[in-house]
Structure 1
Amino acid sequence: MQLAAGDAVVFQPAGPRVALTGAIDTQAIFELKAAREPLGEVLRYAGDSAVLVNPNRVQVERIDTSRPGAARFVEEFKLDEAGR
């Protein structure tokens, strides 16, 4: 697309997002289709590299926006308990 003088480009705000890092094919920030999605679905966005990951240790770092200073905390799961 070519822009012309006077054009305005407007980007809509991003929806809910998650970041995937570690032993996966595609480390990135992904926009969720809904406010909440199963971990297994989000892993498919990243290439579903189940061979490379430790299925007994998945860590989810969360930001609690209801607390002052947006406190971060980490929860640990097995993949089968976390939506897989």
Structure 2
Amino acid sequence: MKPFPYNISVTVITGNYYDEQLPSSLNKAWAKSQQHLISTLHPGSHHIVVNGADHHMLYRKPLAVSEPIRKLIHQWRRR
């Protein structure tokens, strides 16, 4: 796999709830892939955890997901 350029900032936004509709093994595989991305593929990435979020959060409480993105954009513009 081609390495990701380090001159591009990366932020990974995840929730801390498993998807109750998926089997436990898939939830564990998804969590492991997230950690692999953060720790191995791009160790300089910034990780934001949205408390209480699962895939339904995008539809039920979109501000909880979009607010960290808005803050990141605001910080980037201030540079």
- TM (norm. structure 1) is 0.24
> Which of structures 1 and 2 has the larger relative contact order (alpha carbons within 8 angstroms, sep 6+)?
2
The structure richer in helix per residue is 2
User: Which structure: larger Rg?
Assistant: 1
